[in-house]
Structure 1
């Protein structure tokens, strides 16, 4: 069954599979023919925090907008729905974000359509429209209620990131599990609780993909033990290249491959380049007084810090990772476990430092160009750009 599913998505991960001779096609041709899937974009957060409308031209303000997504060859977008752990009524806040996406879709039926399964997705892509799905980033948003899990599935959520940086009552986050002075001081407190395992079981039955980006290592291994369906890491990268606590170690990458899941590489420079974290800390410390002033005026910590990057653009540009490091992370996974287990989860508009050259969604084709120059076939490139995660989506339905 595993290889049948892989074969199906080798066949459908190109919009036009009649010609697979890479040598006769430009990278633009290959990129255009592949079904390109980005598993993580936070543009809905920008609409909530800054009042942007994603069917407007937001060039120079955000990494994404509807027309630029299409210009970059995007076919399928998992829109992230997020709130931090202190959000009051997070389930309601999540539904407001979904409402905002639905409003965009209603205004632009010729450009974007919400889909609920791979059959609908392929139909929409065949009409040259963007297929929209939703990823819920942070299990706290279901408010410990299985009925709310069912409800968000009915609204189009097709993956759930079990935790954000905050832990839930039923799963521990990577941030909390790695804190030296955090609330978690014993092994017994780490991982999934019995209720957490019930959530995993319910997700498997509904067809919501389990996303292990942001979860702690013990939670990760508990998921591997309990899931009956393939999982994803929707926006994570490789720990052995960049030892960020949110990146995946070799044994985790191998476990995801054995599970027939997929790791979707995060574009954020701090996840790609091990030197960025320290430089970014120094940048924020330099502008601490300004950040503190913004916080006193009512701006939240994340937004206050984010505002420093465009304001001091010359400084922040120097913090960005080299573009080739993004390709290094993709290739690392390919060399470790194979071509079938890696994809793209940009984190555009949820981070401020994409790698050099890849400054917005219109630059996606640069990835295809780099992979082609590395000698990858059109078929393999199609797997990386979308075929692999489409396989996992299908396997969860």
Structure 2
């Protein structure tokens, strides 16, 4: 018996060493993180210890093995002067890099990413979330590219004058414009191809998706979305979209939000909110920005049950792999832009658990390297001028 127990211990130790070693050697690229907006809103800084406050900070990204991080530049459609706001957020990222030049660098191109990896620095990339931030001006698109923007999401939840969003297409609220890309929208997609800026189709409506796929000459990016057939919400991709993306040579980066992974999430979440409505209203009246953090502490057990099971993230991944192959899926966490990630994936330090589960599901080292970052880097390289 002692001999068997010893063998079991050695096996478990070797297994732990194996997944950690694979994780360390792979390039981990996360294509969507909203820590910039969170830090501006709450007065935090990425290079300080934000444990217990956010999903991310510089030190914890290193712990989690993040090599390439695309930082989201975001504002909603009501923000005055969204182009100026985008530049303010980009300035924030540049300031973080300037203070921490030994551990991170701005990566504008595939070549910059390779340089950062060689120097063991975090490759800090820029992704603009929402075409409204260029204010219908292609010169502003050019300006954002010069500052380092590697992708732009054609819409956020709000449509803009040249592209319609998934949220608004499904509600049939677009009485002011036809669905899809206008001629100017198609011109913007072509210009993005010329600039070496990836066309990101997360958040866009189905017609906008179809139009963009037909216009682009480069592989597209889905920076943070999941599978509609497993969780039918407007932000997820239907089978025909996944197949079209694979034909285009693009990549789908999976979002960690429980509401995009678990079809039962919204029902469970609504029940929780209804149960604690009076308390939530009371907190909002005093400090609306603290609602989530207070509830997380008071009702940790209840909230944990609301979150999507850890396994569901991999069900979405498996679905895409079975439908179109291993080359078209990756990770776009949406950390610090979402309230409830899946169970176990509480923050950026938990990324190694993904590698561990991929091994358990039978994925090879080669496949795991593609999922963790290789597929995204292929699309980034293919978009280079």
TM-score normalised by L of structure 1: 0.89
Over 3 Å counting, the alpha-carbon distance change for 1:304 and 1:144 in structure 2 is farther
1:111 is matched with which residue: 78, 103, 114? 103
RMSD value over aligned CA atoms?
Answer: 2.0
| SS at 1:235 equivalent | coil
* Residue 216 of structure 2 corresponds to residue 227 of structure 1: yes
Question: 1:218-367 maps to which residues of 2 (within 5 A)?
Answer: 218-288=207-277, 303=289, 306-307=292-293, 309-311=295-297, 312-367=299-354
CA distance in structure 2 between the aligned counterparts of 1:272 and 1:353, rounded to whole angstroms: 11
- Structure 2 equivalent of residue 210 of structure 1: 199
Segments of 5+ residues of structure 1 without an aligned counterpart are: 1-21
Q: Which has the larger radius of gyration?
A: 2
Paired with 2:380 and 2:209, the residues of 1 have a C-alpha distance of: 19
In the alignment, does 2:129 pair up with 1:137? yes
Partners of 1:298 and 1:170 lie apart in 2 by 38
1:195 Cα offset (Å): 0.9
Shift of 1:308: 5.9
> How far is 1:198 from its partner?
0.9
On the 8 A contact 1:287/1:308 being kept in 2, the answer is no
- Secondary structure of the residue aligned to 1:144 is coil
Give the Cα–Cα distance (whole angstroms) in 1 for the partners of residues 279 and 185 of structure 2: 41
Q: What is the aligned partner in structure 1 of residue 11 from structure 2?
A: none
Equivalent residue number for residue 10 of structure 1:
none
Q: Shift in Å at residue 115 of structure 1? A: 1.1
Partner residue, 1:168: 160
Give matches, 1:92-107, under 5 Å. 92-107=84-99
SS at match of 2:306: coil
Structure 2, gaps ≥5 residues long:
1-13
- For residue 25 of structure 1, report the CA deviation from its aligned partner: 6.6
Instruction: Return the TM-score normalized by structure 2.
Output: 0.92
C-alpha contact 2:198 2:220 (8 A) present in aligned 1: yes
> After the TM superposition, which of the residue ranges 279-288 and 58-67 deviates more from structure 2?
279-288
Which residue of structure 2 aligns with residue 59 of structure 1?
Answer: 51
* SS, match of residue 223 in structure 2: strand
Deviation per residue, 1:237-277 (Å, 9 max, x gap): 01111111100011100000000000000011011100001
> Counterparts of 2:99 and 2:200 in 1: how far apart (Å)?
30
Does the C-alpha gap of structure 1 residues 113 and 310 become closer, same or farther in structure 2, counting only changes over 3 Å?
A: same
